[in-house]
Amino acid sequence: MRVQSFTSALLIIAVSIISLNSCNRSAKKVKKKRDTVHKAWNKTIPGSFSEQTILVFDSGKVATFLTQYPELDAYKSDIRNFYTKRKYAYAWFEKNALIEQAGNLANRVMNIQQEGIYKAPPYQKKLDSLLYTVNSAKKQKPNPELELMLTAQYFVFAKMAWNGLSSAESKASSWYVPRKKISYDQYLDSLLSAKGRSADEPVYRQYDLLRGFLKKYTQLDTLEKWAPIVAAKTLKPGDSSAVIAKIKRRLFQLSDFKGDTTGALYDTTLQASVKQFQERHGLYISGQVNKATLTELNVTPKDRIRQILVNMERSRWLPVSVDKDYLAVNIPEFKLHVYHADSLLWSCNVVVGQTVHQTTVFYGEVKYIVFSPYWNVPPGILKNEILPGMRRNPNYLAAHNMELTGYEGKTPVIRQKPGASNSLGLVKFLFPNSYNIYLHDTPSKSLFGESSRAFSHGCIRVGEPARLAAFLLRDKPEWTPEKIDKAMHAGKEQYYTLKQKVPVFIAYFTAFVNRDGRLNFRKDIYKLDERLAATIMSGKGSY
């Protein structure tokens, strides 16, 4: 099949995008067109690739190609392995003509900024030129230079869009979750040998969801003036004001409001929209436009784009999927999510570390449940809080249900006894790690009602600890809810070792799409976004 020049295809897509923004179109027609464009744009590398074995090229062409294009030398082994397996049969040509997927790949490479990447792949213009030459010929014929360029660009695209910035960049961004490992040569080889089959891209599902919203916010940034909305007071249902029409218009632009955007009355429809907006931004859900809500409404699309880019990049670093039970804590969301494979079972509120005692972004495996735990006071808290308290009050340890168990050098070793007042609450969940972070209960239950919950010294306080214990022990029928409750209140420390360790991801996403398909934003409480955003948008990051 001949391939239409990808530059022409881009023109068609651009015209389609512009047409989506016509004010005279109905919402239903706009959505239909947007879906059509999205599907057209998302025609990617997976698909019906050539399985032909007759058309082959000389293996020496690979060395010649890499000499001619030295910036692709890093992919030498990938290219050689791929063609060795194919016995140097053309992958992008069939019956002397380019297959359709060649154009699809070229579109993605030439428009890699649509993937949230601001660094141009090497030899983009040469790829364009080679495609143009072949497509313009009266009679197509296999071109080994174009063949090798397409395969090399596949590996470039895979590394940049599916693997992301280097591990050095992720560590510099305080991300210590182990990076995923995928053999992209095998992935491409499987695609090329599976005619008629389609394959998902090897990226965590949030990546594609965020990519869709990146397009939306890019259009908003291009087409809309985001003038700040100013209100003299908190607005609530029943109020009438000219500024209310501006709020309706803004919420309409953000897909939270449907209806007449010209009315000045704060009606129940607007109230429901405001509640949805507040929920999406992790605000206290009041249904009133207060200062915090107005602040989020005034965040510009340009700033939201930076937030989306950062979290698309983080999505590249995670495993594509996990095929068993696992826990995920999203620090800026202040939530623990419990999964079975890719199915979300339930979620609950958590309290995470303060800005000065940040919870580390890392991966662990829950191995122990400790009922009625002791709390071994960490050195930092001992020095800054306990020892000063002991100097002020000789009865400090007894008053806080603590005891001295010995000394390390001249430093006392202190622990808090099990009980309702214990700082770890009635149960803790251990996943051995060098950061001394774990999940635990807490006696300070009121903090779970706050919209922002960064109060701890680094460990993660769980809002529903008994439920989490029941989940981890659900394959043990002897551990009934009654037995779990009794162990939590026994006043005597008891360890239980899980036979199957449960993965736990401590992650940091300030933009994500929930199960209802709504884009959520959260505050960058540890100020980790800006450095990564600057690295991405400068185009200078290493891949």
Whole-model pTM? 0.86
> CA-to-CA distance for 311 and 296, rounded, in angstroms?
18
Residue 121 is classified by DSSP as P
Q: What is the mean pLDDT of residues 375-404?
A: 94
Share of residues in the chain with pLDDT > 70 (%) = 89
CATH 1.10.101.10 residue spans of the chain:
227-299
Say yes or no to pLDDT of 490 above 90.
Answer: yes
Residue 388's pLDDT is 95
Residue 123 dihedral angles phi and psi, to the nearest 5°: 65, 35
| Angle formed by the axes of helices 206-223 and 301-317, nearest 10° | 160
Confidence of residue 2 (pLDDT cuts 50, 70, 90): very low
User: Tokens in use for 444?
Assistant: 């300070």
Residue 38's pLDDT is 42
Query: pLDDT tens digits, residue range 55-94?
Result: 999 999 999 999 999 999 999 999 999 999 999 999 999 9
Among 337, 440, 457, 489, the one annotated catalytic: 440
Of 177-186, 233-242, 356-365, 493-502, the range with the lowest mean pLDDT is 177-186
Q: Is 459 a catalytic residue?
A: yes
Range 323-374+418-509 classified under CATH 3.30.460.10: no
Residue 26's pLDDT is 40
Say yes or no to pLDDT of 108 above 80.
Answer: yes
User: Tokens in use for 236?
Assistant: 């609530």
Q: What is the mean pLDDT of residues 343-355?
A: 97
Q: What is the mean pLDDT of residues 300-308?
A: 98
Highest mean pLDDT among 197-211, 376-390, 507-521: 507-521
Single out the residue of 494, 474, 463 nearest to residue 325, CA to CA: 474
Say yes or no to pLDDT of 10 above 50.
Answer: no
Residue 190's pLDDT is 66
Quote the distance between the C-alpha of residue 383 and its chain's center. 37
Please report where in the chains the tokens 């910036």 appear, as a residue.
Answer: 71
Higher pLDDT among residues 452 and 32, named by residue: 452
Confidence of residue 186 (pLDDT cuts 50, 70, 90): confident
Segments in 264-406 forming alpha helices (H):
268-280, 291-297, 301-317, 379-381, 387-392, 396-399
Query: pLDDT tens digits, residue range 14-50?
Result: 333 333 333 333 444 434 444 443 444 444 454 445 7
Residue 49's pLDDT is 59
Range 227-299 classified under CATH 1.10.101.10: yes
Residue 14's pLDDT is 35
Q: Is 457 a catalytic residue?
A: no
Confidence of residue 276 (pLDDT cuts 50, 70, 90): very high
Q: What is the mean pLDDT of residues 428-440?
A: 95
Please report where in the chains the tokens 């960058």 appear, as a residue.
Answer: 524
Q: What is the mean pLDDT of residues 397-403?
A: 95
Residue 188's pLDDT is 77
Cβ proximity of 484 and 466 under 8 Å: yes
Mean pLDDT, rounded, of the chain: 89
CATH 2.40.440.10 residue spans of the chain:
323-374+418-509
